[in-house]
Amino acid sequence: MERGRFRKVFIFGLFLALTATGGYFLYQQRPAGLPAGFASGNGRLEATEVDVATKIAGRLAELGPREGDMVAAGAVVARLDADDLRAQLRAAEAQVVQARRAVEESQAGVRKSRTDVSLAGKTLKRSESLVEKGFISKSKLDTDQTGMEGAMAGMDQAQSRVAETEAALAAAVAKVESLQANLNDTSLKSPISGRVLYRLAEPGEVLAAGGKALTLLDLSDMYMTIYLPTDKAGQVALNSEARIVLDALPGQPIPALVSFVAPKAQFTPREVETRTEREKLMFRIKVKPDPAWLAAHRDLAKGGLPGVAYVRLDANAPWPANLQIDGK
């Protein structure tokens, strides 16, 4: 009985000794903390998502890119069925031709009415002269006066007709421009250069206005969001130098800059920090990788990759050796 108890005590003591030794070993192997003048936080590399959506409703006729494909800014990535719009556009263009002819006819009417007014004016003057000499009756003068007034009214009417036809022409031209714009909108163009994240529709589907066809990742606009306590965040300035180390690329520190510092404190999200740190007020910081590095490593930088962002609080503090880039 005593021997069994002694064995248990011995094993327990050995366990404690091994645990202490292992703990000491782990302590010795634990990476040293950041030197003064630096702060760090965990985060994930994120990219701005941009949707390619329709402006008008229509049936999707073509959709080229697949998920993972790269597309250039301004490239046509999809087309809607536009047969109906083309027919409407041809009808509207025919109306423009008719409206122009109507304007020309109304302008000709104005020229004729001016001639009528001129002729009526000459006749009236001649009648006035003849009445004074007693060669014609006053009733003839009244008739010529009425003719003059009728010619003036005819000219006013002709000028109003010109205004109406010009307005009709402007409306017809506007309709053509509107239909042409809608026809142009049947070609969906990529607003950015990026990678296709989601293909949200297939040819043959009818999309409503605002219907999404693709979701793109802007690989030139990536960032990592971290949270720093108030004593550290208060020392962070916009465009402060930073480094990002991704778990997938542990030996490649990425040059970066601080692009955003939250103007007010908040609690950190549950999935980012521990419970103890969540109880503290933190500031949200965005760290943006160098665009030149992103362009050169387009296939390595992927949205969602976890890592650590390091921010230099003191501009004169030298970067630790493991975070230096080209010796700096």
The reported pLDDT for the residue numbered 269 is 59
114 belongs to a structural domain: yes
Domain count, the chain: 3
Same domain, 239 and 317: yes
What pLDDT sits at residue 280? 63
With a cut of 50, list the residues of the chain below it in pLDDT. Answer: 1-32, 273-275, 277-279
Position 30 scores a pLDDT of: 30
| 188, 78 contact by CB (below 8 A) | yes
pLDDT for 74-109, tens place per residue?
999 999 999 999 999 999 999 999 999 998 888 888
The pLDDT score that the predictor gives to residue 42 is 92
How high is the pLDDT of residue 303?
Answer: 83
What does the pLDDT read at residue 117? 80
CATH number for the domain spanning 95: value is: 1.10.287.620
User: What's the confidence (pLDDT) of residue 273?
Assistant: 45
Distance CA 282, CA 264 (A): 9
pLDDT of residue 267: 67
Give the strand pairing for 70-71 and 194-199: antiparallel
In a domain? residue 232: yes
How far apart are the C-alpha atoms of 162 and 92, rounded to whole Å? 21
Q: Which of 144, 139, 153 is nearest to 123 (CA)?
A: 144
CA–CA dist 265, 228 (Å, integer):
10
DSSP for 91-152, written as a single string:
HHHHHHHHHHHHHHHHHHHHHHHHHHHHHHHHHHHHHHHHHHHTSS-HHHHHHHHHHHHHHH
Element (H, E) at 209: none
For residue 268, the model assigns a pLDDT of: 59
Do 282 and 306 share a domain, yes or no? yes
Q: Are residues 97 and 103 in contact, defined by beta-carbon separation less than 8 angstroms?
A: no
136 lies in which domain range? Answer: 83-185
Which residues are CB-neighbours of 165 under 8 A, at least 6 positions away?
99, 102, 103, 105, 106
d(CA 226, CA 287): 8
The DSSP secondary structure of 13-42, one letter per residue, reads HHHHHHHHHHHHHHHHHSPPPPPTTEEEEE
- Reported as a single tens digit per residue, the pLDDT across 25-40 is 333 323 346 888 999 9
